[in-house]
Structures are given as structure tokens and as C-alpha cells.
Amino acid sequence: MSQQPEEEFEEDELELFERHRILVDKGQSLVRIDKFLSEKIAHVTRNKVQQAIDNETVLVNGKTVKANYKIKPLDDIQVFMDKPRRDTEVIPEDIPLDIIYEDKYLLLVNKPPGMVVHPAHGNWNGTLANALVYHFQHLPEMKGNEGRPGLVHRIDKDTSGLLVIAKSEDAMTPLASQFFHHSIDRTYVALVWGELPEDSGTITGHVGRSAKDRKVMDVFPDGSQGKHAVTHWKVLQRLRYVTLVQCNLETGRTHQIRAHMKFIGHPLFNDAMYGGDKIRKGTQFAKYKSFIDNCFSLMPRQALHAMSLGFVHPVTKERIYYEAPLPDDFKGVLQKWEDYVKYE
């Protein structure tokens, strides 16, 4: 049986949740939270509650808990429970694919920015999965991830770059295993605000969902919440008020690079979710503000690109490595910054 890789799939995961908030009565006796919630929330099994706890979408007084936690009087419990998934059939759509490499077992696709990887709440059409089932028949699916044909990992909607797709069962399980064991080499390129003090470094800090906004990931350096996450970075180009960096992942947490770079004070350029859509460094002159607005208009997304993938071919055992060039919007913004540095 294949294991799901630790990289999480959902881009807009909050939209798949039903929300419940329960304030425990003063006279409530001590009882395990999984038992308590399965009795309190209609049509919810204890297994489903336990799964939500494992996914860190059950909070007690703002903190995640284990399934054996015993609730106490006046505990404030918030639950984000999976909504029933709609029909998992993916409708084929004639959407062009930028295929970097292909054989009979797998392919590498260069995903454009703005494309959702697979159907989910609010994005049932126009996804990479819709394109895949049009161009390829009988793509395998991982158990528990029906409706995601060929997918063993994902990148965010507004992140561009490489994804590996399994075309056969022989490829899917070994590929998923490599992601699970973090043996896939992944290189990202990001434009971040500010000038990093060193030429390279490592960010280590658990990444988990924010208690204030479940769409956003926070960093918990003390390891009290979230999951272990490590990002290595190095400077590629210094452009006065922004820096082009290369990021290599040891782990694959949701929004890992975005959360880690914000944590060290260098959010991604134009990353609205993590504060990068405001001027973080630079002058107060109107000309500079206009320049930044022009950059934001040219690249209306976070400046993040999945540049390369390296892995062991699941069947031939050969080493596979490919790169995807920066998309036009990213190249355009870089050119603007290079010109700004040169002429200002």
C-alpha cells in the first residue's frame, strides 16, 4: 500500500471545511475529545474526528491537541471538519500542457501561474488534472486521493514550475515514496523583499496553520505546533531593495517557503497572503511607488517558481533531472529591477 507524501495537496483547504465552535459547559466531566466531538457533531464518526485532529484542524483554546486530550469545563473548541467531497470524476478539458519530459511511466509538466493543480471547492474546472485526463487515459490515483489522477505532489495555484506526474501504478508508489522520504531534489527561485545579510543560510522551524487565519501558515520555532520544516536558501542576485534567492526544500510543507521567508523578515515579492504585496523596503518617493505598482501589475502573484526536479526514475532507476525556465512575468519583473538598479 502506498503512503501519501507529506506534501499537502489542497491549495484552498479552508474552503473544504465545515466550521464548528463549541464552548464546553461548566459541569462537563473529563472525556476524550474524539469521543466528545463525535457525540456533539451530527453525522460525524469518531474516526473522522481523529483524522481532523491528526490534520491539526481541531483547536482547544487556540492550540492543537492529541486525540487522547481530555476536555475540561469551559474549553473553547474549534473544529474545521472536511466537507463531503463532491463526485471525484474529473472532466477532461482540452487545455495545453507544457511537457518538459515524458516516457511511458511518467511526465514532467511546467505548470503556468494561475492554474490550480486539481479540482477542489471553487475550482472544479480548468485545473491541471482536467488537462491531464484529456491528454492521457487511465492515469493512476493514490488511495484516499481520488480525483487527483497521476498526482503525487502539488504546488500552489500562483506558483509556477515543475510537477512530476505518474502515468502508471508502477511509477506512482515509488514516486510517492520518494516525496514521503524527502529524497526528491527540488529547487525553487524566489524574489524576496530586502537584502539578506548572508549569501546563504538555513531556516528551521515547524510550519503549521495559524490559529487566527487557517489559510495562512505560521512558523513555530519552538516546535510546539505544526510539522518539522527545513528550507535552505542562497542568494542568486542582489537588486538593492529585493533579492533573488534559490530555495531547496528538505521537507514539503504547505506554503513552506512563503512562511519561512516571512518568518526571517523577507516575504516573497507580491505575496498578498504573507504581507509581500506592500512596499517593505525602499524609498517613499512617488516615482518608486509607481515602479512597484507596475511590477505588481506585471506579476500579480507571489514571485515563486519551482525551477527544477531531481529524482530516481521509479522503473529504470536512472537519475532524472530537469529545469523549467522562469515564466515571462517573473523574467519581466527581474528585468525591471535590473534596470532600476542600473539607472536609479
C-alpha cell at 224: 510546539
Cβ contact 257:12 at 8 Å: no
Q: What is the distance between the alpha carbons of residues 124 and 56, in angstroms, rounded to a whole number?
A: 26
> What is the amino acid identity at position 29?
S
Instruction: Work out the number of other CB atoms within 10 angstroms of the CB of residue 25.
Output: 10
- Residue tagged active-site, from 34, 87, 94, 156: 156
Question: What is the residue-wise DSSP string for 165-232?
Answer: EE-SHHHHHHHHHHHHTT-SEEEEEEEEES--SSSEEEEE-EEEE-SS-TTSEEEETTSSSSB--EEE
214, HSE (Cβ side, Cα atoms, 13 Å): 21
Cβ contact 155:184 at 8 Å: no
State the alpha helices, DSSP H only, in the chain.
33-40, 46-54, 128-135, 169-180, 256-263, 286-298, 328-343
Q: What is the distance between the alpha carbons of residues 250 and 101, in angstroms, rounded to a whole number?
A: 24
State the alpha helices, DSSP H only, in 88-180.
128-135, 169-180
| Contacting residues for 214 by C-beta, under 8 A, at least 6 apart | 13, 14, 17, 57, 80
Catalytic-residue membership of 12: no
Instruction: Work out the number of other CB atoms within 10 angstroms of the CB of residue 282.
Output: 16
| Contacting residues for 322 by C-beta, under 8 A, at least 6 apart | 100, 101, 108, 162, 308, 309
Catalytically annotated residues: 156
